[in-house]
């Protein structure tokens, strides 16, 4: 991602209303692009009055709905950034608290998605499947478990594995010990995407996840209300498949963002395998 894109994302991640967000976005664009004037904006979005446009940008008038997407394009926002801006505008247009709350929930989901895409944590020691599971357990209150609580959750037969997982998390700077409890560090208090630095770590992690799924098939295959297992083979046009795969990955990442919470009561494994049968 380039610096302009990162700056737009950082502005959108600030907890403000739609009017202030739009003012901040316009101020940033004007600072980095000399041609970003009222005349330029008005021409690009076909806004009839420069004076009214000025009042709207300053927050003295509400943005008419017909200009929401055109303004997002002029600001250079991508699809996810545009979605967040429009949700903020929709929330501001709501009348009742119930309506506002519904949009607030969706806004937080998109913000988590953008945080995951914007903030990356490079792992110097790799992340095993169990280490990842243990880190996710920190999303279940009280969010600062002791070693005993972690062992009780994952099973006393896995004590040595759990201690190794905690060591891996500490070595990567993802957790720290405070008294008897472990806490996530500042690195992981927001929601992050983790990057395995070495191909061997990433490969081992995926293999562990697939092997775990194989063991879980008999238990979960027909429990459709709690799990989803399925497989199919089809003939496709490669160009269409690759285009759709890009969208699928984007949608799945969004589901991650909407699901994950620090107020959880359940851990789930979300696997996905889609691949050609021949290279």
CATH of the domain at 166: 1.10.10.10
Q: What is the pTM of this model?
A: 0.64
> Are the beta carbons of 117 and 261 closer than 8 angstroms?
no
CA dihedral 178, 184, 185, 187 (to 10 degrees): 170
Q: Is residue 81 assigned to a domain?
A: yes
Instruction: Give the pair of three-digit tokens for residue 21.
Output: 């967000």
254-267 pLDDT tens trace: 787 678 788 899 99
The last residue of a domain, from among 93, 117, 141: 117
143-182 pLDDT tens trace: 999 999 999 999 999 999 999 999 999 988 889 999 999 9
Domains contained in the chain, number? 2
Same domain, 255 and 133: yes
Residues forming a β-bridge with 7: none
Average pLDDT of the residues in 70-97: 93
Same domain, 177 and 244: yes
Same domain, 100 and 212: no
Residue 237's domain spans which residues?
129-259
Q: Is residue 276 assigned to a domain?
A: no
The closest alpha carbon to 14, from 137, 114, 155, 127, belongs to 114
Measure CA 20 to chain center: 23
Same domain, 57 and 90: yes
4-52 pLDDT tens trace: 778 888 899 888 889 999 999 999 999 988 889 999 999 999 999 999 9
Percentage with pLDDT > 90 across the chain: 56
């Amino acid at each position: 991602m380039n610096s302009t894109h990162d700056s737009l994302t950082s502005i959108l991640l600030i907890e403000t209303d739609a009017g202030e967000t739009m003012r901040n976005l316009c101020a940033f664009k004007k600072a980095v692009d000399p041609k970003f004037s009222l005349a330029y904006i008005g021409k690009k979005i076909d806004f009839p009055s420069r004076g009214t446009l000025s009042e709207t940008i300053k927050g003295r008038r509400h943005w008419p709905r017909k200009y929401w997407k055109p303004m997002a394009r002029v600001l250079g926002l991508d699809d996810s950034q545009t979605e967040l801006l429009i949700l903020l505008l929709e929330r501001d247009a709501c009348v009742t608290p119930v309506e506002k709350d519904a949009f607030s929930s969706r806004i937080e989901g998109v913000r988590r998605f953008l945080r995951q895409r914007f903030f990356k944590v490079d792992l110097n020691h790799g992340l095993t499947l169990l280490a990842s599971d243990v880190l996710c357990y920190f999303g279940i209150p009280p969010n600062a478990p002791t070693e005993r609580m972690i062992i009780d959750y994952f099973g006393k037969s896995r004590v040595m594995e759990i201690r190794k997982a905690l060591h891996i998390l500490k070595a990567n700077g993802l957790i720290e010990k405070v008294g008897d409890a472990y806490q996530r560090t500042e690195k992981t208090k927001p929601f992050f995407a983790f990057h395995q630095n070495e191909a061997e770590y990433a490969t081992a992690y995926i293999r562990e996840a697939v092997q775990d799924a194989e063991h879980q098939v008999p238990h979960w295959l027909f429990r459709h209300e709690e799990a989803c297992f399925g497989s199919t083979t089809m003939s496709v046009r490669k160009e269409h498949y690759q285009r759709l795969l890009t969208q699928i990955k984007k949608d799945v990442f969004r589901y991650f963002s909407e699901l994950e919470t620090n107020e959880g009561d359940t851990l789930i494994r979300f696997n996905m395998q889609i691949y050609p049968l021949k290279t």
